[in-house]
Amino acid sequence: MSVDPLNKEKLGFIFKLFKAMQKDNLNYIYRGVFTAKITDNILALAESNLVKKEDPRALKRKVYNVMVEGLQNITKHQADIDEDVESNNGVFVLKKEHSKYFITTGNLIENDNIDSLTIQIEQVNKLDKDELKAYHRQVLIDGKISSKGGAGLGLIDMARKSGNKLLYAFEKVDEKYSYFYLHTEIPSTSSGVSLISTKTPGTIQYISACIKC
């Protein structure tokens, strides 16, 4: 029995993704529509199984909190996308490597939001720990809360809780939409200097490929 070329291509990609997950030790990957129930299930699964029992409690708390912010980011933007858009699938990946966790999310956004989102992320990335704390307080005091739940508060929280800069990328889908990828690293409190860099890591490349499958 012959295999449909499109299905054959997807099967080939799934095999490559599986090998990539083995090589890069990806603990969990989900692609699809993010409902409140699915988000709750992912968080419950992470709390009980994905985050290793031997990890320090502080590290577990950081991973969980960053996951919450990342998943909320997906659902907030997802609500703005037209229901008839075929590619309105978000993606979430959790990766464990040595004493560090890596969290990557991908979701569709309107192209009109790219500039403002880039400015927010760059502003967050140039601040140190104390400056982030002050910036968070300033945003709350100024009261510039948007319809999406905050003037970059989620991004600020992710940077504060992870202790790292946020890596990001945009990939144009059409004249109206692009995929937005956000990647962060959560090191253990005793792991020393972070290995995260400003270069797009392989994980984002895998997520980009997964979205297209």
* In-domain check, residue 22: yes
* In-domain check, residue 30: yes
Model pLDDT, residue 191: 46
- Is 37:55 a contact under the CB 8 Å cutoff? no
* In-domain check, residue 174: yes
pLDDT in tens, 8-19: 444 444 445 445
Q: Which residues of the chain have pLDDT under 70?
A: 1-26, 50-53, 79-88, 143-151, 189-213
Model pLDDT, residue 200: 42
* Residue 213 Cα to chain centre, angstroms: 18
Question: Which residues are CB-neighbours of 80 under 8 A, at least 6 positions away?
Answer: 109, 110
Model pLDDT, residue 9: 44
Model pLDDT, residue 125: 92
* In-domain check, residue 180: yes
* In-domain check, residue 144: no
pTM, to two decimals: 0.75
Model pLDDT, residue 42: 87
* In-domain check, residue 148: no
* In-domain check, residue 157: no
SS3 of 65, please? helix
Other Cβ atoms within 10 Å of 107 Cβ, number: 24
Q: What CATH number is given to the structural domain containing 185? A: 3.30.565
- Is 130:106 a contact under the CB 8 Å cutoff? no
- Is 90:33 a contact under the CB 8 Å cutoff? yes
Model pLDDT, residue 66: 93
How many structural domains are present in the chain? Answer: 1
**Could you list the residue range(s) of the whole structural domain that residue 9 is in?**
5-108+167-212
